[in-house]
Amino acid sequence: MSKKNKHMTLDDRIEIQECLNKGMTFKAIALRIGKDPTTVSKEVKLRAISYTNSFTKTDECCPKLLRAPFVCNG
């Protein structure tokens, strides 16, 4: 098993974020950065940050977080 291209670079992650903000699909993003769509999907799920504070109920969740692309930007 080759370790070449095993990890995402910071540039890859920034590109994924910018593409998600543009509403691009995982497949389109993957083609753009040269990775598998599943890799992009897993990266987004793994690196998603959930913000909570004491003024909101923690059981309330944006429905967009439950489906691809698993982000709620607004």
Ordered per-residue pLDDT tens for the chain, 74 residues: 444 556 889 999 999 999 998 999 999 999 999 999 999 999 988 887 666 665 555 556 677 777 777 777 65
Sign of CA dihedral 9, 20, 39, 30: negative
- Tell me the Ramachandran region of residue 2: left when phi exceeds 0, alpha when psi lies from -120 to 50, beta otherwise: beta
Say what the pTM is: 0.65
Predicted pLDDT at 22: 92
Quickly count: other Cβ atoms within 10 Å of residue 12's Cβ: 19
Torsion of CA 61, 62, 68, 72, to 10 degrees: -120
Closest by Cα among 4, 12, 66, 74 to 43: 12
Predicted pLDDT at 59: 56
Q: How far apart are CA 69 and CA 3, in angstroms?
A: 27
